[in-house]
Amino acid sequence: MTNSDNFDSYPPLFRPNPCVDHGEHSPNPESEPGPHSDSEPEIPVVDLGSMRENLSKICREWGMFRLVNHGVPVELLSQLHEHANKLFALNFESKQALITTPILYFWGSPALTMSGNVQQTGPCADSLNWLEGLNVPLAKNSDFEYQHPLLQSFRSLLEEYGKHQTRLAKTIFSAMAEDLNFPPSKSKSYLSLPTGFMRVYRYLRCPMADRRWGIGSHTDSSVLSILHQDQVGGLQVYKNDKWLDVKPIHNTLIVNLGDMMQAMSNDNYISVKHRVRVNKEKERISIGYFVFPTEDAVIESSRYKPFTYPEFQAAKELDLKTVGIKIGLSRFRITGNGTN
């Protein structure tokens, strides 16, 4: 068990006291249809060296795949997770004071708009995601020097890992753009490597794991996302009206397509729904990379009104504030064209 009794590292709302009686609360109001399933099929596997062989079919039918032969050193992945565990094990107040810029510390929501300033009316963290995390803008990370040796070492590891992520994103997107027959001008603007950032998540141990979520059902807003998870498990993908476990397999990465790629592909590719379950006994570390179009790239499709990513993001933020959920691509869909 990670940090077996180190609850001083947890945000106060997630510590055993006063929220030890969570079992009295109603079940998590997850509204997604369909049961959870541990059974096959497992998500498809793509070899980076021969990815064009089956990538098109997988992007159309799954929107998620397991990447092998990706070229990221195993030692680097191990060091990243080791350093993440050490950083997250620091006292909560220390993390808030230490991790401020350009790496930012947040908790309770995967969105930075809900970071450490989150306000909670009840005594317990009923509506929060059971996580804490670090947001790492790659474009700003490389030039910053931290005084704390652990944070400086972690920054260097993230910089090295970020270079591998941009390499992978460029290679994967190039194959997708070829499959979708994007003109060169669109290929160049639809993926902007300088927009890439990473989020390092620690999903906290939760005494009512059947009633709370690490992250609830959602789609990513990115073009594509690349994830490395530890061996604890908890990631699930929605496929054929069932939730399937995305099992941890050593030295593999998980790639999923986001809303931008679905719109760019005219709904031929899937922006896949996924979620993260929490665990009663173990914490879970995952490191995600997200990349977007250029700010002025106009996403054009016969199924959607033309829009840019900043317009999409502004609509998403407004929906979160006014109706409490992300509506996403539906805001821009042309009426009468149907859904995938």
In a domain, 185, yes or no: yes
In a domain, 30, yes or no: no
Tokens standing for 9?
């590292």
Position 126 pLDDT exceeds 90: no
Mean pLDDT lowest among 38-47, 109-118, 205-214, 266-275: 109-118
Mean pLDDT lowest among 106-110, 220-224, 228-232: 106-110
Give how far the C-alpha of residue 146 lies from the chain's centroid of Cα atoms, to the nearest Å. Answer: 25
Tokens standing for 73?
């050193």
Query: What CATH number corresponds to the domain at position 239?
Result: 2.60.120.330
Under DSSP, is residue 245 helix (H, G, I), strand (E, B) or coil? strand
Tokens standing for 119?
């306000």
Helix (H) or strand (E) holding 185: helix 184-190
Residue 138 or 119, more confident: 138
> Phi/psi of residue 271, each to 5°?
-85, 105
- 260 exposure class (CB count in 10 Å sphere: 0-12, 13-18, 19+): buried
- 162 exposure class (CB count in 10 Å sphere: 0-12, 13-18, 19+): buried
Query: In this predicted structure, what is the pLDDT of residue 26?
Result: 38
Q: CB-side exposure of 65: number of CA atoms within 13 Å?
A: 23
List, in order, residues 6 or more apart from 174 with CB less than 8 Å away.
187
Q: What is the pLDDT of residues 234-250, one digit of tens each?
A: 999 999 999 999 999 99
Position 1 pLDDT exceeds 60: no
Residue 297 or 3, more confident: 297
Q: Positive or negative, the Cα torsion across 191, 142, 231, 218?
A: negative
Q: What is the pLDDT of residues 307-333, one digit of tens each?
A: 999 999 999 999 988 998 899 999 999
Query: In this predicted structure, what is the pLDDT of residue 141?
Result: 78
Tokens standing for 65?
């795949």
Label the pairing between strands 284-292 and 192-203. antiparallel
In a domain, 10, yes or no: no
- DSSP lists the bridge partners of residue 68 as 47
Q: How confident is the model at residue 39 (pLDDT cuts 50, 70, 90)?
A: low
In a domain, 172, yes or no: yes
Q: What is the pLDDT of residues 72-105, one digit of tens each?
A: 999 999 999 999 999 999 999 999 998 888 899 9
- Find the domain containing 74 and state its range: 38-300
Position 23 pLDDT exceeds 70: no
CA distances from 54 to 49, 50, 51, 306 (A): 12, 8, 6, 30
Question: Cα(307)–Cα(298) distance, rounded to whole angstroms?
Answer: 5
Position 53 pLDDT exceeds 80: yes
Query: In this predicted structure, what is the pLDDT of residue 336?
Result: 63
Position 20 pLDDT exceeds 60: no
Comparing CA positions, the residue from 190, 249, 275, 185 lying closest to residue 224 is 190
In a domain, 77, yes or no: yes
In a domain, 5, yes or no: no
Residue 17 or 86, more confident: 86
In a domain, 120, yes or no: yes
Query: In this predicted structure, what is the pLDDT of residue 17?
Result: 61
Q: How confident is the model at residue 40 (pLDDT cuts 50, 70, 90)?
A: low
Count of domains for the chain: 1
Q: What is the dihedral of CA 267, 269, 273, 275, to 10 degrees?
A: -150
Query: In this predicted structure, what is the pLDDT of residue 100?
Result: 85
In a domain, 23, yes or no: no
